[in-house]
Structure 1
Amino acid sequence: MVNLILFGPPGSGKGTQSANIIQKYGLIHLSTGDLLRSEIGDKTPLGLEAKKFMDQGQLVPDEVVIGMISSKLEANPEARGFIFDGFPRTTAQAEALDKLLTLKKTAISVVLSLEVPEDALIKRLLNRGLTSGRSDDASEEIVKARIVEYHNKTAPVADHYAKFGKFKKVKGDGTEEEVFELLSKELDELVGERVQ
Structure 2
Amino acid sequence: MNIVLLGPPGSGKGTLAADLIRLYNFEYVSTGDIFRHNIREKTPLGLNASEYIHAGQLVPDHVTIAMIADHLKQPRTGSGILFDGFPRTVVQAEALDRMLMQMQTELHMVINLVVSKETVVERLSNRRLCVDCGRGYNLVSLPSKVPDICDQCGGDLIQRADDRPETIRTRLEHYRDSTKPLIAYYQEKAILTSIDNEGSIEAYTQRAADAIAKAQRMGKWRP
Higher normalized helix content (fraction of residues): 1
Secondary structure of 2:204's aligned partner: helix
Farther off after superposition, 95-104 or 164-173: 95-104
- Could you tell me which amino acid in structure 2 is paired with residue 137 of structure 1? D
- Could you tell me which amino acid in structure 2 is paired with residue 6 of structure 1? L
The answer as to whether partners of 1:126 and 1:137 remain within 8 angstroms in 2 is yes
Q: Which has the higher contact order (CA 8 A, sep 6+)?
A: 1
Match of 2:20 in 1: 21
Q: Distance in 1 between matches of 2:164 and 2:190?
A: 37
Aligned pairs (5 A) from 1:152-191: 152-188=177-213, 189=216
Relative to structure 1, the CA distance from residue 128 to residue 54 in structure 2 (aligned partners, 3 Å threshold; closer, same or farther) is closer
The answer as to whether partners of 1:66 and 1:100 remain within 8 angstroms in 2 is no
Match of 1:116 in 2: 115
Match of 1:149 in 2: 174
Match of 2:164 in 1: 138
Relative to structure 1, the CA distance from residue 49 to residue 22 in structure 2 (aligned partners, 3 Å threshold; closer, same or farther) is same
Match of 2:134 in 1: none
Q: Distance in 2 between matches of 1:133 and 1:47?
A: 24
Match of 2:87 in 1: 88
1:89 Cα offset (Å)? 1.0
Backbone CA RMSD of aligned residues: 2.2
1:77 Cα offset (Å)? 3.3
Gaps of 5+ in 2: 129-137, 140-157
Question: Per-residue CA shift, 1:108-133, capped at 9, x if unaligned?
Answer: 11110111122222233234379552
- TM value normalised by structure 1: 0.85
Aligned residues: 191
1:55 Cα offset (Å)? 4.5
Relative to structure 1, the CA distance from residue 120 to residue 56 in structure 2 (aligned partners, 3 Å threshold; closer, same or farther) is closer
1:105 partnered with 2:130: no
Gaps of 5+ in 1: none
Relative to structure 1, the CA distance from residue 119 to residue 105 in structure 2 (aligned partners, 3 Å threshold; closer, same or farther) is same
Q: Distance in 1 between matches of 2:119 and 2:51?
A: 39
1:45 Cα offset (Å)? 3.5
Question: Per-residue CA shift, 1:41-89, capped at 9, x if unaligned?
Answer: 3343433433444454443332232222222222123532111111111
Question: Per-residue CA shift, 1:150-192, capped at 9, x if unaligned?
Answer: 1011121111011010111111112111100010112232564
Query: What is the identity percentage for the equivalent residue pairs of Structure 1 and Structure 2?
Result: 38
Q: Distance in 2 between matches of 1:126 and 1:78?
A: 35
Farther off after superposition, 183-192 or 98-107: 183-192
- TM value normalised by structure 2: 0.76
- Could you tell me which amino acid in structure 2 is paired with residue 12 of structure 1? S
